[in-house]
Amino acid sequence: MSIKVVSTSPFADQKPGTSGLRKKVTVFQTPNYLENFVQSIFDSLEGFAGQTLVVGGDGRYYNRHAIQVILKMAAANGFGKIMVGRGGILSTPAASCVIRKYNAFGGIILSASHNPAGKDGDFGIKYNTGNGGPAPEKITDAIYDITKSISEYKILEASNLDLDRIGESKLGDTVVEVIDSVADYAELMESLFDFDRIKLLLASPDFSLRFDGMHAVTGPYAQEILVNRLGAPASALQNCVPLEDFGDGHPDPNLVYAHDLVEVLYGENAPDFGAASDGDGDRNMILGRKFFVTPSDSLAILAANAHHVPAYKGGLAGIARSMPTSQAPDRVAARLGIESYETPTGWKFFGNLLDAGKATLCGEESFGTGSNHVREKDGLWAVLFWLNVLAARQQSVEAIVKEHWQLYGRNFYSRHDYEGVDSDRANTLVNNLRSKFAELKGQKFGNYEVAFADDFSYTDPVDGSVSNNQGIRIGFTDDSRIVFRLSGTGTQGATLRLYVESYEPNIAKHSLDTQEALKELIEIADQVAQIKVLTGRDQPTVIT
């Protein structure tokens, strides 16, 4: 087997976004497009000769092809060993788990998360470092710089490997090990949670659950953990056969896209607990019977109940949330007497806090929750955490959430997305807001008075790195907030996200409808940002 050096020329559009490089499959099919990016990853790294690389993806269309290319390129570039999930499958949290467990140098994850898949869908690739987490900006910036001047890549001339058979083979001098995609991850889950207690809950005739894999990567994980190890009936799983096109769905676990699950949980004889995970298994949505738990509340409630879970019994070091996530978790941190951290959007910002032992639990409004057990957010982990809490407390999801609000007050929270907006108009909207900060401060809108308006900037408390322009915040004197951000994960046009939050200590008002409770703030947002005029839209595309 010989190493081929192929000359190539740069592509101008290979800047990684919030979570790696995401493009249409057809873009990745452009000759050398994938190879250029992979070589740029390797060229940005130092000291990996003879080390281990983990490779796996969410199983979407193009996954298998991309993995064969990456294996041959990793071998040609001098990795000593490559561990790849069977069939090319590793959920994002499982990849993080495997990188950590086997002290790998890093990993390449093929995923465009919840974005639609298939020939006309999206594909994505990202690099994770040895701590199991997404590469920090320092590395993604270096990768991008290299993509702009790359002139050649290295690949081994070899035939494709059989990815479906567990075991070792060789690519040149490099050992390739096909591993069980689920086993290491399932073992880790078993070490964190009280499986015996959860088993009892699932065996009880008074409790039923439904998990929706959305035809994406979590199906086999849910089968092994929920059914084989915890004894849930097979009927507790739906859409758990992974498909390359995700069944033409949009595997984003929210009230809009996880409609199959929502129908069941809001239907007749609804189960007690429902959950879904996204394309690559790192997001989660939690439902009770006819009851939705916002991701922000979920993080707050898991933190407040962490003492029920064996892995977190000893207490939490701190709680971290992304800036647009509601402030509900901060209230729990304050009561527990621990630190709370506010980071920019993107899981990568939690890595340093977790590594430094400053935070134990992390979460984002975008349906991501996780802990220091890996360095990615983790969908099934959140499901198991909830099941562990339900098993310990023997109360319904709704009762637990409402009790939480009684104790801490309720943070009403909603996100309005305007998808596929013209990029220039979206930028104008954001720039207009930036020019108004001084004038907004102290301004009154009905019952609300602006306490501050700024562009969120974050200084990492561990390495001192600064990230500017992370979203526009308008805070009011009663702790309510309006936040504007442009998505960093879309592949077409711009997506404007409006995040709205108010705080309600009065228990009598806790059962208000969220949109109703936030109505005035939503109107203020439109007034200040001219959303309807500038996006040309009357309504958001998605409300969560």
**Catalytic residue set:** 113
Question: What's the rounded Cα separation, in Å, for the pair 252 and 276?
Answer: 9
Q: Cβ 204 to ligand G6P, closest distance in Å?
A: 34
Helix (H, G, I), strand (E, B), or coil: what is residue 535? helix
Residue 272 binding: pick among Zn ion, ligand G6P, none (C-beta 5-8 Å cut-off by kind): none
Neighbours of 50 (CB within 10 A): 12
Structural element, H or E, at residue 84: strand 81-89
Sites for ligand G6P among residues 490-519 (CB under 6 A): 497
Contacts of 540 (CB under 8 A, 6+ apart): 416, 417, 418, 498
Phi, psi of 519 (to 5 degrees): -50, -50
Instruction: Give helix then strand counts, H and E, for the chain.
Output: 19, 27
- Contact stretch for ligand G6P (CB under 6 A) within 75-83, 177-185, 481-489, 526-534: 481-489
The 363-402 site mask, x for binding ligand G6P (CB under 6 A), equals -x-x-x----------------------------------
Sites for ligand G6P among residues 106-165 (CB under 6 A): 113
Residue 346 binding: pick among ligand G6P, Zn ion, none (C-beta 5-8 Å cut-off by kind): ligand G6P
Of positions 111, 372, 487, 535, contacts ligand G6P by CB under 6 A = 487
Instruction: Tell me whether residue 59 or residue 288 sits nearer to ligand G6P (CB atom).
Output: 59
The 309-338 site mask, x for binding ligand G6P (CB under 6 A), equals ------------------------------
Residue 280 binding: pick among ligand G6P, Zn ion, none (C-beta 5-8 Å cut-off by kind): Zn ion
Alpha carbon 117 to its chain's center: 17
The 335-364 site mask, x for binding ligand G6P (CB under 6 A), equals ----------xxx----------------x
Q: Cβ 369 to Zn ion, closest distance in Å?
A: 12
Question: What's the rounded Cα separation, in Å, for the pair 25 and 27?
Answer: 5
Question: What's the rounded Cα separation, in Å, for the pair 66 and 428?
Answer: 37
Instruction: Tell me whether residue 39 or residue 129 sits nearer to ligand G6P (CB atom).
Output: 129
Strand ranges for 183-278 from DSSP E = 209-212, 237-238, 273-277
Residue 305 binding: pick among ligand G6P, Zn ion, none (C-beta 5-8 Å cut-off by kind): none
Instruction: Tell me whether residue 305 or residue 343 sits nearer to Zn ion (CB atom).
Output: 343
DSSP 225: I
Q: In b/e form, how buried is each residue of 177-213, taking b as 16+ CB within 10 angstroms? A: ebbebbebbbebbeebbbbebbbebbeeeebbbbbbb
Question: What's the rounded Cα separation, in Å, for the pair 319 and 332?
Answer: 9
Q: Are 494 and 423 in contact (CB under 8 A)?
A: yes
Q: What is the DSSP string of 373-389?
A: TSSS--HHHHHHHHHHH
Residue 278 binding: pick among Zn ion, ligand G6P, none (C-beta 5-8 Å cut-off by kind): Zn ion
Minimal CA–CA distance to 301: which of 259, 329, 321, 279?
329
Sites for ligand G6P among residues 11-30 (CB under 6 A): 18-19
Residue 488 binding: pick among Zn ion, ligand G6P, none (C-beta 5-8 Å cut-off by kind): ligand G6P
Instruction: Tell me whether residue 279 or residue 288 sits nearer to Zn ion (CB atom).
Output: 279
Residue 487 binding: pick among ligand G6P, Zn ion, none (C-beta 5-8 Å cut-off by kind): ligand G6P
Q: Cβ 322 to ligand G6P, closest distance in Å?
A: 6
Q: Cβ 464 to ligand G6P, closest distance in Å?
A: 22
Residue 137 is encoded by which pair of tokens? 């900006």
First to last CA, the chain: 52
Minimal CA–CA distance to 240: which of 55, 59, 371?
59
Instruction: Tell me whether residue 280 or residue 460 sits nearer to Zn ion (CB atom).
Output: 280
Q: Cβ 14 to Zn ion, closest distance in Å?
A: 21
Q: Cβ 462 to ligand G6P, closest distance in Å?
A: 18
Point out which residues bind Zn ion (CB under 5 A).
113, 278, 280, 282-283
Q: Cβ 488 to ligand G6P, closest distance in Å?
A: 4
Instruction: Tell me whether residue 87 or residue 346 sits nearer to ligand G6P (CB atom).
Output: 346
Instruction: Tell me whether residue 292 or residue 347 sits nearer to ligand G6P (CB atom).
Output: 347
Give the CA count within 13 Å in the CB-facing half-sphere of 190: 15
Q: Cβ 364 to Zn ion, closest distance in Å?
A: 11
Phi, psi of 305 (to 5 degrees): -110, 10
Question: What's the rounded Cα separation, in Å, for the pair 81 and 106?
Answer: 11
Q: What is the 3-state secondary structure (H, E, C) of 191-226?
A: HHCCHHHHHHHHHCCCCCEEEECCCCCCHHHHHHHH
Instruction: Tell me whether residue 487 or residue 502 sits nearer to Zn ion (CB atom).
Output: 487
- The residue ranges that bind ligand G6P (CB under 6 A) are 18-19, 113, 345-347, 364, 366, 368, 487-489, 497
